[in-house]
Structure 1
């Protein structure tokens, strides 16, 4: 096999080669039971080996990149300890469970054909978020790191660090930091892989972010080491591409499916992202959100590739040559097992560096996301059966059948999402009839109607979100038009809903705080357009803008003012509560009764010109 060599000052071209990408595998928890060896264990392990062997035989690849989350990881909890390591402490349980889990996983992948696994820690390798200050999971972060690093990053013979070759003058890892065994740089052929442990903790007894004592960031000596590695890599003409992987996405928004949706602090404004941008990193790989999103950095050719690998039902191949990177996404066909090898191509991404300027083209699941585009767009022109348009994470899995039931009603049809978030954000529906609307067809809603999006987001933290829709009603009730209540928390806060209270549009953020449009009375049985827009991230409720029929309305604040901050575990509901936690039944609001059309959601502010154009 040809290698990159320096001969008389020239660099010989590397022969094309391939590796596989498998984020959020989530299937290794079984290996914590290795010593107990239950009756199902042998078959389950054999299935893993067969699935990995299928990948090797059919798709090849010289190594596998795994951006975190291989297991469940709740090894600090009393129930797990009592069942598996009676009498043990949380720290002891974590070390024992980690040894079994990771060594079992590594052995199965090796038997299947992949002996080189380059893996980053995910939140599940760190015990799973959140990390409440003072809790066992918070205080045992060192043990979670130790268990992972011993298995994946330490040589079994002698115990030395597996990736110890420096990059130029830069050490292979951030020595002297808590990340020195979980963050590292590794050169393979013409690529430098940099793996980052993004889970930062300053004091296990102190909360520093939404997730408790742990947050997603790279800072201080850890960041300085990363910058040094990237700087040295750019001096080496044999390194044609730099790939960085960590578990957490950076650029917002990303698609999400059944995920807590944690992201890196400060997004593309973070010092971490600025370093990747400065040193011309080619791709940043992330996982966490169980969905595929490709985004190009706004100021460089840096690509964020967030991918899905859950239970082998999605994976990507990457073909590498000196001036070209080609990524192909494969999706498991519904109703098959991984070892059956029945996968279809669901997306492609090509990064061509052969010309004066880098050319980047994506399609399907790997099409570049327009962060300023309309992510949700429901036109109600058709209502096809759900079975004809499988939704990622939902269709074809028997244990997910309950997720087709919205507030006691089973949904068998969908309204296709025509926005940039794509078909997996189509809305499940029942009892919504088609009627005439202001633009083609519209949806006719009753108290028994259901319309909800199974995929999650886009609300996250304090990021901007905007809504627009057309509606027609005569109801005097306080009705719900768009619901973004949490699916897991029953706290009646941290959402941004659009209600119509006896004909008055309201932006609602809790059970006691709302912003109403003054002078609007829209329950007159005529079509009206309503839009709600946050003018910037983290704005106050009083700053939210409400537009009625293309014109900005005067607003009145009811309840105390505060900055908007969202629970990211959200499935959008249209015309009712739908997927939100049953605790949201306490909201003084009724399902929408009337007609609705052109429902849209953006993750940017809407200008008066945007709204006017949509109205006209």
Structure 2
């Protein structure tokens, strides 16, 4: 009898201590706070813009609830150190003074608007725009002002306005809630809310404002030294506390590659899943890592653990997510604003779901729509030409900005109102705008028939990034002897004729071109015989040399010769892919000695991994 009483008492206690389900909102890359820098000047348009912010936040609170909002960075523009901004706003101020003044106006105004709308707790990480926006050239004002950018942010978001006390000071076990004595002591911190530990990490590392340490200049995305040691102490203490049911880490930069990307510089965390930062998250069984930066939604499961990276979009309130938390389950819903509506009207539709179920012996992760977990090894682009659809009935994320409806868009002077659906894992927002591409019989059903007036380009960016390996494959039929462009990855922002990975046909010979002066061209094969042929171009590893690229024709690797100097392949991350021509690339690339493709294409495919020769052969056979 006594044993039964003890058992019942234990069960009762466990029920009492079980946390009731609760909700928070996720809003990454809001990018709408810059207006608040104008609060003192008070232009005529500002009151209405602020009122719309408050009305939208109130709508969120009334319709979706939530106890707090998690914000993984990028709330503003942040170019507050520049001569143009200073001249227009704080004449005579130094860059350092301008940053602090603008930061106070921007962040205090933003916080007030969210508070007026019903949310008094915003847990926010710094993004690149809170740090002045990338890049950070060594010796520049934006590099020298990194301490002021941090100070301006932390003073408003993380300090009590009365007395300046840090808001999230409560220790995690025996460890300080923040990395004291480091540059990140006011922008990285751990905060316990009910059954969740939120850890916010400032990943913008600088050693010396005059020293370049990466592609972005004097700042790079990493967590090292005492900052990393603090993070491990926090995670270790958290895992000792059984009442902490979930650990959520947020920073700004994605770690797992690839991710979808829209109108973004696409900065990533250094070393990806091989970074000490990620290995710590994996070691201590962190549940979720939240990031932003790329203005698109991607959910990815770590291949070696149950850690989920959730990269999300919140731009100008046109996307947001709700997270419902219980002790053994996380339910996430993604909402997308209906095109042509005001955000305060509350016209949103569900665009994806993600569930992390920890109730059984093994964690179960499932999702759909924009939150269907991405297979990083999958075929991200696949265009089969079996169907063509209306752009107006299939809007593409970010394409129309704040327009009231999806309108035809120009690609190099030709208006496009149709799309070819992307059937690859990157999904529908990577469908290709098209015009003047006819449908013809191909090796696998229909094919696309191209001429000099044809257009086919993908508005969403990537998946190319830096030295990460990519592979291309497609079917080709042509009789042209011209130097023709098949797959184009030239940048949409830069002017230099380099840092791309293009696939061409040069008088029928497959060619990989990485700059105006460097290419790798196949030998002993000619494919301009008017018959169907299969081509593949494969980077065999990350950061490979141009000479190491593998070219395949009809399932077999062929010999190739180098034209120009050999070098490691490094691809500009501001890429919108085009097929059969330059499409989105800047006009400077008109100087390339290539012409639009004339002929037929089918089964255009792209992966972000090396394709083994057996897989290439199978693509040809099938």
**TM-score normalised over the length of structure 2:** 0.97
TM-superposition CA deviations, 1:58-88 (whole Å, max 9, x none):
0000000000000000000101000000010
* Structure 2 partner of 1:44: 49
Structure 1 residue corresponding to 2:598, chosen from 575, 593, 602: 593
SS in 1 for 2:380: strand
1:130 aligns with 2:135: yes
* Structure 1 partner of 2:488: 483
- The 5-angstrom pairing of residues 52-451 of structure 1 reads 52-395=57-400, 397-398=402-403, 404-451=409-456
Identify if the C-alpha distance between structure 1 residues 329 and 195 changes in structure 2 by more than 3 Å, giving closer, same or farther: same
- The answer (yes or no) to whether the contact 1:11–1:238 under 8 Å persists in 2 is no
* Structure 2 partner of 1:463: 468
SS in 2 for 1:462: coil
CA distance in 2, matches of 1:580, 1:570: 8
Q: How many aligned residue pairs are there?
A: 612
CA distance in 2, matches of 1:503, 1:490: 28
Q: Tell me how large the CA RMSD over aligned residues is.
A: 1.5
- The answer (yes or no) to whether the contact 2:179–2:188 under 8 Å persists in 1 is yes
TM-superposition CA deviations, 1:377-418 (whole Å, max 9, x none):
000111111011110001473399899211111111000000
SS in 2 for 1:398: coil
CA distance in 1, matches of 2:113, 2:511: 55
Structure 1 residues not aligned, in runs of 5+? none
CA distance in 2, matches of 1:116, 1:262: 27
- The 5-angstrom pairing of residues 547-558 of structure 1 reads 547-558=552-563
Runs of 4+ in 1 over 4 A off after TM superposition: 5-11, 399-403
CA distance in 1, matches of 2:501, 2:407: 26
- The 5-angstrom pairing of residues 5-44 of structure 1 reads 12-44=17-49
CA distance in 1, matches of 2:375, 2:77: 33
SS in 2 for 1:374: coil
- The answer (yes or no) to whether the contact 1:386–1:413 under 8 Å persists in 2 is yes
CA distance in 1, matches of 2:154, 2:242: 31
CA distance in 2, matches of 1:412, 1:471: 25
- The answer (yes or no) to whether the contact 1:76–1:93 under 8 Å persists in 2 is yes
CA distance in 1, matches of 2:286, 2:428: 30
SS in 2 for 1:421: coil
Identify if the C-alpha distance between structure 1 residues 11 and 206 changes in structure 2 by more than 3 Å, giving closer, same or farther: farther
- The answer (yes or no) to whether the contact 2:340–2:404 under 8 Å persists in 1 is no
* Structure 2 partner of 1:507: 512
Structure 2 residues not aligned, in runs of 5+? 1-9
CA distance in 2, matches of 1:37, 1:516: 60
CA distance in 2, matches of 1:492, 1:520: 27
- The answer (yes or no) to whether the contact 1:11–1:237 under 8 Å persists in 2 is no
